[in-house]
Chains A and B, each alone.
Chain A
Amino acid sequence: MGIAALRKKWKTHGLLILASIIMIYPVLWWVGASVKSNAEMSSPNLFPLAPLWSNYTKGWMATPNYTFSTFYINTFHIELWSIAGSVVSCSLVAFGFARLDFPLRKVWFAVLLTTMMLPAQVTSIPQYILFHRMDWVGTYLPLIVPHFVGSAFFIFLLVQFIRGIPRELDESAKIDGCTKFGIYWRIVIPLMKPALVTVIIYTFLWTWDDFFQQLLYINSVKNYTVGLGLRLFMDSQSNTEWGQMLAMALLSIVPSMIVFFMAQKHFVEGIATTGLKG
């Protein structure tokens, strides 16, 4: 490699490293600040000389009556049902659209695509009224049940993926006496695993971050999610312990981080191969 090429290579790396540092710096500061006392918060050091680990233990217990353990268990409870609902319903519907023929199929698919564009606000008020009338407000049902009817975005993603699976597999299974459901269950589902992983990941992340719905439908602290617990923390303290709050906020993104690092390839390469190509 010539000197010029080498220099160019280092220039690229230099630029990328600089950009990475700028992007990641707030997160680094965050980690440091989570073990700082209020007095040290404005100090120039990224990390304090004597890390205040008690920010984590005290923060965990800071909300009255319930600790963050309850909030985490609640959130995982909602997550589990949401993911189960998403995977089952989206895969069934996507199989129907991608592989079966029925009257008005194209019309329904166009409707499905249109609903992707619909702003959530328009439906969120009447949905609230509906769930209010059904006496579901205050339970997890308004958060979980919508996942059992599938989301347009995931269905579209899976339809695109199933279209890439060779139809010959279906045909030969049909000759062997496989039912439609059998084709879905034995052929398509196993081949669809990578796309289903994408659905699981995004359902997890979006549910974790879905502050708005949680704010609307959960009203007793006993049922609070991590996000609502954090808000309670913010409101309950008159002289805010910033360190403790940042520590709890940082812990609240750990599950998403773990999911992200486990499924890194899906994020940085994934979308290109599953969908988005009309």
Chain B
Amino acid sequence: MEQTAVAASIKKTKRRRLTARWESPIAGYLFIAPWLIGFFALTLGPMGMSMYYSFTDYSLLGEENWVAFRNYTRIFLSDDTFVQSIKVTLLYVCISVPVKLASSLFFAIILNKKIKAISVYRTLMYIPSIVGGSLAVAILWKNIFGLNGFINYFLSWFGIKGISWISNPDTALGTLVILSAWQFGSTMIIFLAGLKQIPAELYEASSVDGANKVRQFFAVTLPMLSPVILFNLILGIINSFQMFTSAFIVTGGGPVHSTYMYALYLYEKAFAHYQMGYASALAWILMILIAIATTVNFSLSKHWVYYEAEEGGRK
């Protein structure tokens, strides 16, 4: 009997010691260890390496030689493909981001209604986004916008003779923009969550003041939603700069490099030509471009994003 009591008390002190150990800072670091390891081994380490490689001619096949800024000077001074891919990418970002934002906001607004079967509509409209950036959609797109695809069939109703949209340099990029706008689901969900947080009183008050729907949209919805718009804008820009799969599959960068996105160029340099040093330099330029675009948008946002907390105090 006594023995068990002693055993129990030993157990207790053991446990207490264990608890004490868990209380120490080590516990926290043990819990976040997986991420820390990943951060150093898979993010920070590789970033340092890629910075170093961008100043070398490393090719995966042999030893690297230090070339200082030669990769960068070649990119900026004598690389026509780089110039083309930058043009295409900037054009794509400037068109697809606003188009996608507008379409997802439009659908979020018409889906933000308290009527029967609204979740059925939401589900239906989310389906294109579920089919995802996958290969399957690229195959579908190739077909829809092909010479015999249903877009042309639809146009023939109006007596318009369609073209092969994907193999025409003037329209190929447009098909990719429409593809990204068609998959507005996740952006729309974020807008929907934002719309739900706008207090109904604001609408009531403004309609008492005689504001119509359009006026309400510009005076209430847009300002209240502006932080969410900024969030989606930044996310959209970051994603569009890196667009790869649909360009790779639908158009393969063609015709005549009219959809040759930056990420495609980077991929070819790194994994088709194994010019890792050059590709690393390209990757850093992309990173800096994205950082600039993000910073510019953040600083511009001061002029159009409305934060309720600043005036009404934090909840």
Chain A residues within CB distance 8 Å of chain B? 9, 12-13, 15-17, 19-20, 23-24, 26-27, 29-30, 33, 41-42, 44, 89, 92-93, 95-97, 100-103, 105, 108, 111-112, 115, 117-130, 132, 146, 148-150, 152, 155, 174, 177, 179-181, 184, 205, 208-209, 211-212, 216, 227, 230-231, 234, 242, 245-246, 249-250, 252-253, 256-257, 260-261, 264, 267-268, 270-272, 276
* Interface of B toward A, CB cutoff 8 Å: 15, 18-19, 22-23, 25-32, 34-39, 41-43, 45-47, 49-50, 53, 58, 60, 107, 110-111, 113, 115, 117-119, 121-128, 130-137, 139-140, 143-144, 148-150, 153, 182, 185, 189-190, 192-193, 196, 238, 241-242, 244-245, 248-249, 263, 266-267, 270-271, 276, 279-280, 283-284, 286-287, 290, 294
| Cβ-closest chain A residue relative to B277 | A125
Are B245 and A268 in contact, CB atoms less than 8 angstroms apart? Answer: no
B238 and A119: CB pair below 8 A? yes
Structural contact, B31 and A96, CB atoms closer than 8 A: yes
Given A119-B287, A130-B46, A179-B22, residue A253 in contact with residue B34 (CB < 8 A) = no
**What are the residues of chain B within 8 A of A152 when measuring CB–CB?**
35
Identify whether the interface residues of B are mostly helix, strand, loop, or mixed. Answer: helix
A250 CA to B127 CA, complexed, in Å: 13
Q: A132–B60 contact, CB under 8 A?
A: yes
Say how far A28's CB is from chain B's closest CB, in angstroms.
Answer: 10
State in angstroms the CA–CA spacing of A29 and B149 once bound together. Answer: 10
Q: Which residues of B contact A16 (CB under 8 A)?
A: 110-111, 118, 121
Is the Cβ of A146 less than 8 Å from the Cβ of B134?
no
CB-CB under 8 A for A257 and B130, given A29-B144, A41-B148, A44-B153: yes
B139→A234 contact, CB < 8 A? yes
Please determine whether A100 and B132 come into contact, CB atoms closer than 8 angstroms: no
Residues from chain B with Cβ under 8 Å of A121 in the complex: 242, 263, 266, 283, 286-287
Q: Which residue of B lies closest to A95 (CB)?
A: B31
How far apart are the CA atoms of A213 and B38 in the complex, in Å?
17
Q: In the complex the two chains form, is B283's CB within 8 Å of A146's CB? A: no
Q: Secondary structure of the A side of the interface?
A: helix
**In-complex Cβ contact of A130 among B28, B49, B143, B279 (8 A):** B49
Residues of B with C-beta under 8 A to A267: 123, 126, 185, 189
CB pair A29 B133 closer than 8 Å:
no
Q: Is the CB of A108 within 8 A of B49?
A: no
Complex CA distance for A103 and B25, rounded to whole angstroms: 7
Chain A residue contacts of B135, Cβ below 8 A: 211, 227, 230-231, 249, 252
**In the complex, what distance in Å separates the CA atom of A93 from the CA atom of B36?**
9
A-B pairs with beta carbons under 8 Å apart, 15 shown? A19-B107, A23-B125, A26-B182, A29-B144, A102-B26, A125-B266, A128-B271, A148-B38, A150-B34, A181-B22, A184-B31, A211-B134, A231-B249, A260-B130, A268-B122
Of A93, A120, A230, which contacts B136 at CB under 8 A? A230
CA distance A96 to B22 in the complex (A): 12
CB distance from A203 to the nearest CB of B (A): 14
